[in-house]
Amino acid sequence: MKIYFNPSCSKCRNAVSQLDEKGQDYELVQYLETELSTSELSEIIDMLQDPLTDLVRKDQNFRDLGLNARDYVSKEAVIELLSEHPKLMQRPIIVKNSKASIARTPEKVDELAG
């Protein structure tokens, strides 16, 4: 199991805490410290079980950059955006058994840890 993690994100910290409580083994990838390559982003997208558009955070940072969600519906556009602005990647992302999921809820983390 691999977790794409941002230590300042409470959802990420909660997911890791849940996995620790369950005694799960995982690899932690701090994607803001170790920049993801376009091929790594492509692999995550190819494994993603959630809609592609959910991978992009449409938060205040997104709006401050003057971005429009309609411009980020293709794999190529999402990869380009997340390569340039990794903070806009939704998190945590958990990869297990060649499937990637955005695990923002405790229920989703439990499902993936199962």
Name the catalytic one among 9, 32, 45, 77. 9
Question: ∠22-13-6 over CA atoms, to 5°?
Answer: 130
- Neighbour count for residue 7 (Cβ, 10 Å): 11
- Gyration radius (Cα) of the chain, Å: 14
Reference 95, options 47, 56, 52; nearest CA is: 47
For 37, which DSSP code? P
8-state DSSP, 16: H
Distance CA 48, CA 103 (A): 11
Catalytic annotation on 12? no
Residues acting as catalytic residues: 9
